Amino acid sequence: MKKSKYLTCAMSLALLITGCSLYGNNIPEEGTSSVTVQGKDSEKPTEENAQPPKETAPKAIDSPEVKAYKDFLTENYNDEELSVALVHLDEDDVYELALMHEKETTPNVYLYGYQEGEVVSLEIEVFPFYGDSGDFFYLDKANCFFYGYFSSNDEEVVTTEFVFSMKEGKPALDHTLCAKTRYDSDDTTYYIDDKEVTKQEFDDFNDEHSLSEFDPVSVTCVIDEYCAKLSGMGDADELEEALSRDYRVVYFSRETEIMEPALKPAIYLYPEQDNSSINVNLDIDGYYTELIPEFNTNNGWSVTADRNGDIRLDGTTYDYLFWEAMLKTEYTFDEGFCVKGEDTREFLESTLTTCGLNAKEKEQFIEYWLPKMENNAYNVISFQKAAYTDHAGLKANPAPDTTIRVFMAFYASDEYVDIKKQTIITPTRSGFTLVEWGGSEIQ
């Protein structure tokens, strides 16, 4: 998975969390982010229910525990390079300290608390640290934190999630959830607290503790590159600055500076033989907002497909595999088309054929996108390349002979925009063909 896996992991892990108060009493304020379109900055509301804390000027945190952490770091790590972060693990206003040693190849997350005027380690038996950079998550002031551990052998890949809460001043392991998937069959065995359960029992367990109102902003991921840095030079001003801000504000200002939606990417499969077994896997920089059907393998689907495009999974037949996400990218408009709203249907009919879509794919594309476009004075359209594909990896096994990915970004304009015309080369469909289309409306 790409480096920016954390929000995706946060969502997948959080869907398994149990016994946690999801929001506590700390709902972040609403905020906005800006997006640049054709050289103009316009205000763009952030994703509904995913508002980051407002970015404010740095303000030093003056509290007893922060003063104690400064003394602790000076006394114990004055000559070592560190990454540090002030976090809220339980429900009170007292910060905990997350610390990572830069000398470690993959920095582990060590936790410290403040109790009775002293800095104390939060390590417990079996858990001297809590995952590594990018795999440790917490819900701000909700008394719930967790990390994922991934391992594999010659036969299977194992995903384990450890879910903790603070009890009597120490982390307590509340639940261990595990999924073991075999390479040879994609069969998955599920465990809850070391007890083997059926997939239905596993799903029921998740439903019972449903996070259907899940707010991505509630989950914060501790990442080395986002944390404040200490150079090991004993610089008092550097230390003062490092412990001046709540990590959560820093994290979400970084995470939401450029996040764009990927709406209705639909994946079609056309194997050369009926009843073909196909694995389809996604690898995105961001987090999913919808999947139809739900993944039945790690980051993907294991399905059966026919030559006519029918896709079968768990007794249901689909025209395509559907996903939506927020991607960490910025769509480009260096070249494209400016089309009158009333001419959009004709434009799409012609251009989608050039892109390589067949009649059924075009019809379903137009059915979804035309209502969003035809009443605009003009639509400025650009079919994305690397800005999309570099942040939304797509693979299939067996590998397709032909892969066609069509992703349209557009924005409405009240007047004609002079834009360099985009050149589209028509692909040749041959052999096992995989087709995907999707898009994004830039507000």
pLDDT tens by residue, 114-154? 999 999 999 999 999 998 877 899 988 889 898 988 788 88
Q: Between 368 and 48, name the one with better pLDDT.
A: 368
Q: Residue 218: what pLDDT?
A: 63
Q: Residue 60: what pLDDT?
A: 57
Q: Residue 441: what pLDDT?
A: 93
Share of the chain above pLDDT 90, in %: 60
pTM greater than 0.85: no
Mean pLDDT of 236-262: 82
Q: How far apart are the first and last CA of the chain?
A: 29
Least confident range of 4-18, 76-90, 265-279, 397-411: 4-18
Average pLDDT, the chain: 83
pLDDT confidence tier of residue 22, bands split at 50, 70 and 90: very low
Mean pLDDT of 366-390: 96
Mean pLDDT of 92-110: 91
User: Which residues lie below 8 Å from residue 65, measured CB to CB, with a gap of 6+?
Assistant: 94, 95, 114, 119
